[in-house]
Amino acid sequence: MSSKNYSDESLWSSEPVNSVTLADPDALLEGLTKSQRDAVTHEGGPLLIIAGAGSGKTRVLTRRIAYLLATGQARPWEILAITFTNKAADEMRRRVNELVGSDADGMWVSTFHSACLRMLRAHADVLGYARGFTIYDAGEAESTVERIMKEVGLDTKRLSPRSVTSAISAAKNEMQSAKDYAAMHESGDPVRRRVSEIYKLYEERLRNANAMDFDDLLVNAVLLLRADEGVLSSYQRRFRFLLVDEFQDTNGVQNELVTMLAREHRNICVVGDSDQSIYRFRAADVRNILQFAERFPDATTVLLEQNFRSTQTILDAANAVIEKNLSRHPKNLFTEGDQGSKIRLYRAGDEYDEARWVASELQRFRSQHNITWGAMAIFYRTNAQSRVLEEEMIRASVPYRVVSGMRFYERKEIKNALAFARLIVNPRDEVSARRVINEPKRGLGDVAQTKLGTYAAQHNLSFAQAVVFAKEAGLSGKALNGALKFATTLEQLRAMANDLTPREMIDAIVRETGMGDELLDDNSDEARSRLENLGELASAAAQYETLLDFVERMALVAESDHYDSAAGAVSLMTLHVAKGLEFPGVIITGLEETVFPHSRAMNDDQELEEERRLCYVGITRAMSYLSLSHAWSRTRWGAYMDAIPSRFLAEIPPELMEDVSSPPPLRRNIQRDEDGFVGRDSEFAQGRAFGSGAAPPVRSTGAEKLGLKVGERVVHDRYGAGVVESISGENQRARASVLFDEFGSKQLVLSMTPLRRA
Ligand code: ATP
Ligand code: MG
């Protein structure tokens, strides 16, 4: 395996099947093992493929689709394939087209949410929704719950909107309506009764707004199929072949959905690995895979144990870790490939030292093993860990990208523009209306909004509809004018939507709503970058046929969707996002107790097993080289704290690892600083105390001594010019937030950053 040449990314990022001539079924079986072939050629009836990581599950699924098409067993529109992310769906479609040498039009390859959305769009009326209904994301669901709680006078400090939202979500994932939930907890504990009241109001609120949350997409699809025999049987007849990847992470509703759809033809093929089930917090239920054989007693089961991805060393480590889980079926992955090199372990002083080592390790992957940047990945447990790593990547000139995708769409100006777009397609969308009714300012403060809300409730209207009745609702003066102007603008935009492309519509929104003018008047660097972002949004919209398509896709942008292996940059991502991917070189960072495993697993065996599966997922992403790191101290929640190495490190047999760190720090490096806080001196913090470690010694840049003040202009070696937004801490712990003209806001540790006065 180590002999592969990774300088050409196409060698690993897409599996080559050179010998496949156009739709020759036999060629599709080339390069498969006997068990893989059995799965690909399986003739109808339920099929369960259980297999460990990297054993070719996704490859088998893709080949099977191609095979069904090439042998004429299925026509494209008779296939429904479900993947975990939109990105994986695009990839699978691309591969199938490549394999069969044509465009398999009409095939549904999508996530559960997208497939449900598609069915609901076509039959929204069956459930009493209007066309163009909005999808509320998790944050919008929570803000709606919070508003309801405030309206009915509940103390949101004692009962948090987040916990109520997740209780509602959990209920939905059990297919419990507000009514069911109320009945179940009628005489139960008071908190549950509270939740059931809020749940009822929440459902009404969404109905009025012609909106669904993410859970509703799944639940409503099931309700739709239950409610309309005609719709159900048309889909049952249409989808002669159902295939589901990552089945271990389906929840009860998703399971119900595929079971219903498969009832007619029973050609259902699910693949999964119970050791990779990592979405329990989203109600995923690994029992779905374990009970598949009970649900479909005539199911054929195929086991795959040969791994084609990783070296034996990496597999041995993965096996050793996952073995510690008690609730699993024992299985052992093997490879016919090389033993491979040892797993490298670095014990860092703190997170900065760790980040520096990570950068040097990536450079080593590149120079010693000829791996391209795009073929490497850094994983961490929580998003917050990326910041320090990012800073170091920039300093070390390592091209990188953070794979989370949501960032761009979380920006205020983007959310606002999208809110207008959503209001154009769904005039009743309450969350969007509230978001932008006073953006830019139209004199519609809280009081005016409360009046509109009350009027809406009294007349059984949605908040958005009530705006037109601003006068009747008791608004006057500036507020009244503002409301009417808002309503008129929306009317105008809706009228334009018939003639303009999605791209033109985004431009129109920026222009007509006053967003653009507000930013132009501001004329600050920040305003300019916001305008650029809006331009970027318009470019994104240009890829869609209709505004509705665009808005829909935006609602479903999943985390890993922005991962692009061809990008020539190292990928940074959380372990959850890494599922299903593979990289020749992988570094897993932050292997510390309460970081990974996460603190919530400390006193909970089930959570701990879930964390261990996550670790197994992380390790098994690596093809040839795996490196691990932990830090002895880490700044968390603003405090510099000592950290204990993760138990997962101890679970990997020591002979598989090579400790590449320098000797551990001596206690004398710990000193008290001016405020009496126990910390490390600057030498320690910068890794100099390690002597000849893998991390190059770094001198203070001296920026902490500049005495910078908020508002001052500064210049950074890489980011260029910017302005200081805030300063905190002193001496080597002095940090600044700087808003750069071109790169936006960055958090910097002054002693380590090449920053000077402009
Ligand atoms: P995961 O559990 O991580 O989702 P998986 O079981 O879906 O993994 P794949 O991603 O399908 O595994 O395959 C892992 C790697 O092994 C891929 O690079 C794939 O191309 C390769 N592979 C699979 N089967 C074979 C085979 N028979 N011969 C050679 N390479 C294979
Ligand atoms: Mg897979």
**Cβ < 6 A, ligand 1 pocket:** 15, 31-33, 36, 51, 53-59, 273, 276, 308-309, 580, 582
**Given the CA of residue 621, which atom of ligand 1 is nearest to it?**
3
Using alpha carbons only, give the angle 109, 114, 119 rounded to the nearest 5 degrees. 95
The CATH number linked to 465 is: 1.10.486.10
Tokens found for residue 414: 């983007």
Identity of the residue numbered 201: L
Which CATH number belongs to the domain containing residue 657 in this structure? 3.40.50.300
Token pair of 720 as six digits: 């260029």
Q: Whose CA is nearest to atom 11 of ligand 1?
A: 56
Phi and psi angles of residue 231, each rounded to the nearest 5 degrees, phi first: -60, -45
Place of tokens 């991390």: 695
Task: Using alpha carbons, list the distances in angstroms from residue 295 to 257, 258, 267, 289.
Answer: 13, 12, 13, 10
- 651 falls within a domain: yes
Catalytic residues: 57-58, 245-246, 276, 621
Q: What is the pLDDT of residue 187?
A: 84
Would 239 be classed as within a structural domain? yes
Kindly state whether residue 1 falls inside one of the protein's structural domains. Answer: no
Give the domain extent around 61.
17-120+219-306
- The neighbour count for residue 301, using CB atoms within 10 Å, is 12
Whether residues 502 and 630 fall in one domain: no
For the chain, the domain total comes to 5
Which among 11, 12, 14, 15 is the best mutation to test ligand 1's pocket, defined by most ligand atoms within 8 Å of the CB? 15
Return the pLDDT at 562.
52
Q: Return averaged pLDDT per consecutive 10 residues of the chain, 758 residues in all.
A: 36 39 78 94 93 94 95 94 88 91 84 93 94 87 93 89 91 92 89 94 95 94 96 96 95 93 94 89 80 90 93 96 87 88 96 96 97 96 84 89 66 89 94 93 92 92 92 94 95 92 93 90 75 80 87 71 66 92 97 93 92 97 98 79 94 96 51 33 32 38 80 82 82 77 74 79
- 3-state secondary structure (DSSP) of residue 725: strand
pTM of the model: 0.75
Residue-level pLDDT at 504:
92
Cα 55 to ligand 1 centroid, rounded to whole Å: 5
For a ligand 1 pocket test, name from 4, 28, 36, 59 the mutation site with the most ligand atoms within 8 angstroms of its C-beta: 59
Q: 379 with 421, same domain?
A: no
* Ligand number, closest to the Cα atom of 11: 1
Q: Does residue 474 share a domain with residue 376? A: no
Helix (H) or strand (E) holding 82: strand 79-82
Amino acid identity, position 112 = F
Question: Based on the domain organization, do 228 and 360 belong to the same domain?
Answer: no
CA angle 475/477/482 to nearest 5° reads 75
Pair (392, 532) in one structural domain: no
Claim to verify: residue 534 and residue 569 sit in the same structural domain? no
Is residue 146 domain-resident? yes
